Amino acid sequence: MIIEIKYKKQICEIGKRVYEKGFVAANDGNISVRIDENEFLITPTGVSKGSMTTDMIIKVDGDGNVLEGEYKPTSEMKMHLLVYKERPDIHAIVHVHPPYATAFAIAGIPLDQAIMPESVVYLGTIPVADYGTPSTEEVPNAVKKHVHNHQGVLLENHGALTWGKDIDHAYYLMESLEFNAKINFLAKQLNGDRELSKQNVARLLELKKKMEIMGESPLGVDVPDGTHAMKREMATSLSEKDIDTIVERVTKSILDAFNS
């Protein structure tokens, strides 16, 4: 099947990218793609994601039965299948251990601070899913709590997981998640992880309102450079609940600042 070969190539390509970026060490990490409702391609266990070839990719069904392939699927397959089961709109998943995001996962700190509009708005808030012993049902159960309201999670004391409409989307969310964690970490070293100003919260609120009125068409709205793209991202990738969470958090931090 041509489409399956294409997906397998994409998985190898993303595997190389996450390895070269330092998002994984040795044989860590796993990537999967949905072929159709109940068939998936997934990476093998015990192989470096930086040097995979298409013949190593395994085809499985929604229960994790191997349909095709010589290799053994990743032991973290259950959390992939859980996401696909809960979210029929999701077509690809990336799981890696990027250093900054994993540090947040170890510290148990979610990425939900409104410190950078583009990043937070594109990514939404990233919660911490409770620790689960790898390969057990504990991991999918912990992810399940967050899968409908977010685009990814930090896996407590473990790493990060993102899901998207295709493999590029899932990968870019991961890149953005790690970038956000890195900036957040660096800002904390400067004691400057300040959240957005009151003015900017008002602007976010205004964008949200315009989005509601105008749907996905941001044209003709008098907003500064960059916010058009931001609004498009908000319209396509951010749930209503995400926006509410960000706005609520920022508003609270500002009110706290006023009251202190």
98 binds Zn ion (CB under 5 A): no
Binding residues with Zn ion: total (CB under 5 A):
1
Residue 19's alpha-carbon distances to 48, 52, 95, 152, in angstroms, are 8, 11, 12, 19
Closer CB to Zn ion, residue 159 or residue 164?
159
218 binds Zn ion (CB under 5 A): no
Smallest separation, CB 87 to Zn ion (Å): 20
Q: Is 118 part of the annotated catalytic residue set?
A: no
Which residues inside 155-194 make contact with Zn ion, applying CB under 5 A? 159
Smallest separation, CB 31 to Zn ion (Å): 11
Closer CB to Zn ion, residue 46 or residue 226?
46
The amino acid at 38? N
Smallest separation, CB 76 to Zn ion (Å): 6
Site map for Zn ion, 120-159, x if CB under 5 A?
---------------------------------------x
Closer CB to Zn ion, residue 27 or residue 237?
27
Catalytic residue among 13, 20, 39, 76: 76
Closer CB to Zn ion, residue 155 or residue 247?
155
Smallest separation, CB 28 to Zn ion (Å): 6
The binding site for Zn ion (CB under 5 A) comprises 159
Active site residue ranges? 76
